[in-house]
Amino acid sequence: MGSRKVRVSETRRITEVEPVAKPQIAIYDTTLRDGSQHEGISFTLEDKIKIARRLDDIGIHYIEGGWPGSNPKDIRFFERARKLQFDNAKIAAFGSTRRANSKAKDDANLKLLIDSEAFVVTIFGKSWDFHVEQALRVPLDQNLEMIEDSVRFLKSHDREVVYDAEHYFDGFRHNPDYALATLRAATAGGADVIVFCDTNGGTLPKEVAKAIKAAKKVVSCPMGIHTHNDGGVAVANALVAVELGVSHIQGTVNGYGERCGNMNLITLIPTLQLKLGRICVPEDRLHKIYGLSHFVSETANLAPREYQPYVGSSAFAHKGGIHVDAVMKHPDTYEHVVPQTVGNTRRILVSELSGASNVCYKARDVGIELRKGSPETARILQEVKKLEDEGYEFEGAEASFELLLRKKLMERPKLFDLEKLEVIIEKHKQKRDYQEPGSDVVLKLRVGREERYVAAEGDGPVHAMDNALRKALCDFCPEMEQIRLIDYKVRVVNVRRGTAAKVRVLIESATDDEYWTTIGVSTNIIEASWQALVDGVEYGVWKLRGWK
């Protein structure tokens, strides 16, 4: 064992222990190939190029661009990639061993891998005798020849060869001697890395450990791990593999992949780096992992996972009053790492479970100092709990909470007073197969001493109210030109009441620089929408004015 040093942080960690020499882990990203098999994902060529650049920027070592033999898009990706400069990553092309009853030098798919001009070539071969006999339908010995011949051919073309032992763990479980024989064949062919694949994703950590320990006796080159998450233990299996000496890890951003997904690099990298002292990406780039996760989810047109470890919006969110009180005294009490190290931030939620600490923290967050025992804090907390009991939920509507806070403290008057709101929805006899009903709004507002009376139309009642509000306030609030509504959600609060139930409306508004969410609750969906809409406008206007 080497010597260890203890680093004491004055501002954050109580103590952090790290080895003097940190072993390097090679991270192999397959988001562009395996990740694209995730249900609902269809990357364009430009998407793949952009993601590759972000992966390179954070310091990923290998980027698997696709399978040149499977589709024209992947062929074009490698044509584009050849013209690009990557500072950290090697681009890898993916394929399979040669076909049966042929030679590697004559195999069309292997030739396409060479033609891709990717310096790294990854091929998979069968490790499970069941697959060899039932899927390939070739003798077991012939499969061994296919593996060795394919690897040797690629090595003869001066390629770095990564051999993926497909279904290795299932194969080892059913016929360990044959599974190990496939590894010997890849080793004999000259593979640079041999990767143990849990292709079906159902292997448990104890089984992974047993199979890797056996493999270490026959594999002389560096070892890798490729796990799927069908059993919910893909990251755990990869961690077990690292502890046993595996130094090459394959996975995808956000765990995207077929069925339940691949091993999630966004979870694995910080865990290895911050907890096991294994360097995966440069230390000064680890904070970019939050941005990488969100960029890829946006590019894939999938909503970010709120509860994802390290990078989810809830990863460092605190709601219980006791928790918040402790975190305010020392973050280590309820946070396992510093949020900023992975690019995330701490969030304090305000709800009916909140204590005075939550309110004080949120107030401080927006530049307002409150004391835990003050009458103002008690009054705000009582109001929050009352509103949450009525169906409000300020966790996802922090702009509405800030408005509530400022109004209770008499820091901000209303922009206007409502005199009249009339919403008309007209549906006439259909002249076509389908015809949307029309929406008209009549709005009467008092702004200071002036009264505005306007009418507006819209594609629906919310759109019509938004148009009317803008029309009425345009002379008083020119800032409204910068504010736009970007999302609208409705949730039934008390479902057992049926059509008489309360609804909760969340409206997301934005400027070019930021976005915010506001809330409204009522048994009348129009009223709930109006509340959320008005809060969104008021918050945006005052924010743009600097709360002056």
Cβ density class 321-343: b for 16+ within 10 Å, e for less:
bebbbbbbeebeeebebbbebbb
- pLDDT value of residue 3: 36
Alpha carbon distances (Å) from 282 to 249, 289, 468? 16, 11, 53
In the chain, how many domains are there? 3
Q: How many CB atoms within 10 Å of residue 131?
A: 17
Among the candidates 345, 373, 389, a domain finishes at 389
d(CA 304, CA 427): 38
- pLDDT value of residue 346: 81
Do 294 and 326 lie in a common domain? no
Among the candidates 255, 270, 299, a domain finishes at 299
Residue 499 in this model has a pLDDT that exceeds 60: yes
User: 349: pLDDT confidence band, cut at 50, 70 and 90?
Assistant: low
- pLDDT value of residue 20: 42
Query: 481 versus 347: which is more confidently predicted?
Result: 481
155-171 pLDDT per residue, tens: 999 999 999 999 999 99
Q: Where residue 38 sits, what CATH number does that domain have?
A: 3.20.20.70
Q: Is residue 5 one of the residues assigned to a domain? A: no
Residue 216 in this model has a pLDDT that exceeds 50: yes
- Give the pTM: 0.71
Do 278 and 327 lie in a common domain? no
Cβ density class 248-258: b for 16+ within 10 Å, e for less:
bbbbbbbbbbb
Do 133 and 102 lie in a common domain? yes
Contact at 8 Å (CB) between 312 and 306? yes
Mean pLDDT across 335-345: 92
Across 3-12, 121-130, 138-147, 185-194, least confident range: 3-12
Do 105 and 199 lie in a common domain? yes
Write down the number of H helices and E strands in the chain: 17, 18
Mean pLDDT across 433-448: 85
User: What percentage of residues in the chain have a pLDDT greater than 70?
Assistant: 91
- pLDDT value of residue 366: 72
d(CA 255, CA 40): 14
Do 222 and 263 lie in a common domain? yes
Question: Average pLDDT, whole number, for the chain?
Answer: 88
Strand order through the sheet with 503-510: 484-492, 503-510, 515-522
Do 157 and 284 lie in a common domain? yes
Closest CA to 517 of 347, 339, 343: 347
Closest CA to 401 of 432, 464, 358, 455: 358
Reduce the DSSP state of residue 509 to 3 states and report it.
Answer: strand
- The residue range of the domain holding 351 is 317-389
Among the candidates 242, 266, 299, a domain finishes at 299
Q: Are strands 438-447 and 417-426 parallel, antiparallel or unpaired?
A: antiparallel
User: What percentage of residues in the chain have a pLDDT greater than 90?
Assistant: 67
Interacting residues of 46 by C-beta distance below 8 A, sequence separation 6+ = none
d(CA 70, CA 228): 22
Structure tokens of 95?
């394929």
Across 11-25, 170-184, 211-225, 332-346, least confident range: 11-25
Do 280 and 380 lie in a common domain? no
Interacting residues of 427 by C-beta distance below 8 A, sequence separation 6+ = 435, 437, 438
User: 350: pLDDT confidence band, cut at 50, 70 and 90?
Assistant: low
Cβ density class 161-180: b for 16+ within 10 Å, e for less:
bbbbbbbbbbbbeebeebbb
